[in-house]
Amino acid sequence: QKEVEQNSGPLSVPEGAIASLNCTYSDRVSQSFFWYRQYSGKSPELIMSIYSNGDKEDGRFTAQLNKASQYVSLLIRDSQPSDSATYLCAVSTDKLIFGTGTRLQVFP
Amino acid sequence: GAVVSQHPSWVICKSGTSVKIECRSLDFQATTMFWYRQFPKQSLMLMATSNEGSKATYEQGVEKDKFLINHASLTLSTLTVTSAHPEDSSFYICSARDGVSTDTQYFGPGTRLTVL
Confirm or reject contact between A7 and chain B (CB < 8 A). no
Tell me what the mean pLDDT of segment B69-84 comes to.
Answer: 93
Rg (CA), chain A: 13
List chain B residues with CB under 8 Å of A34: 104-105
Among the partner-chain residues B49, B104, B108, the one whose CB lies closest to the CB of A49 is B104
Nearest residue of B to residue A49, measured between CA atoms: B104
**What confidence tier does B102 reach under pLDDT thresholds 50, 70, 90?**
low
pLDDT at B100: 65
B20-to-A39, A60, B38, B92, B115 alpha-carbon distances in Å: 25, 39, 17, 11, 13
Among the partner-chain residues B49, B91, B112, the one whose CB lies closest to the CB of A95 is B49
pLDDT at B48: 95
Tell me what the mean pLDDT of segment B65-80 comes to.
Answer: 92
Low-confidence ranges of chain A (pLDDT < 50): none
The whole-chain average pLDDT of chain B stands at 92
Confirm or reject contact between B31 and chain A (CB < 8 A). no
Element at B49 (helix H, strand E): strand B45-51
Helix-strand-coil split of chain B, %, nearest 5: 5, 50, 45
With a cut of 90, say whether residue B29 has pLDDT above it: no
Q: How far apart are CA A6 and CA B21, in angstroms?
A: 31
pLDDT at B110: 97
Q: Are B71 and B52 in contact (CB under 8 A)?
A: yes
Nearest Cα to B34, choosing from B23, B45, B22, B50? Answer: B50
Tell me what the mean pLDDT of segment B1-18 comes to.
Answer: 94
pLDDT at B27: 87
